[in-house]
Amino acid sequence: MRGTMELEPELLLQEARENVEASQSYRCELGHQLLEAQRQIKDSASQTRDVLKQHFNDLKGTLGKLLDERLVTLLQEVDTIEQETIKPLDDYQKLIEHGVNTAEDLVREGEIAILGGIEEQNEKLWSFTKKASHIQWMTASQPKITGFSSVNALQIILKMFM
């Protein structure tokens, strides 16, 4: 009996060693799996960050192009409105300049008529008076310059959405 009892402790010791070895191996394997899982998470998070950054950079580029195109369109619209709105004023300025030139000519003619001889003076004064009446009629029929409050003005209201 003694021999069988002595074997039992050796078997138990052997079994204990195998269990310790298996436990250490299992612990090592779990540690390796844990490290592998952590590495996988870090790698996938890094890749996701890179994809997000690239995606948003692409969006910024596209959005920048769209904003640039929209700006060009809006600037062209402002130019068109400006040209359409200022054209009547330019036309009116030409009309005024013509009227001023005619008035200057009339003033010179009147001065000459006043300074001329009596025979010439009557004829020149009659011509001057006739032209002056015609010019008064023309200036009375011309449209008046509108007040600044009546002139179109461009304005833009910018809104930020966040």
Is residue 65, in this structure, part of any structural domain at all? yes
Specify the pLDDT at position 157: 77
Has this prediction a pTM greater than 0.85? no
pLDDT tens per residue, range 69-84: 999 999 999 999 989 8
Task: Give domain status of residue 159, yes or no.
Answer: no
Structure tokens at 117: 């001889």
What are the structure tokens assigned to 156, written together?
């833009």
In a domain, 18, yes or no: yes
147 with 75: CB under 8 angstroms?
no
Full domain range(s) for residue 49: 2-143
Secondary structure E strands in the chain: none
Residue 128: C-alpha distances to residues 117, 119, 125 (Å):
15, 14, 5
Q: How far apart are CA 146 and CA 16, in angstroms?
A: 109
160 belongs to a structural domain: no
Count structural domains, the chain. Answer: 1
| 64 assigned to some structural domain | yes
Tokens encoding 24: 């250490």
In this structure, is residue 148 part of a structural domain?
A: no
In a domain, 158, yes or no: no
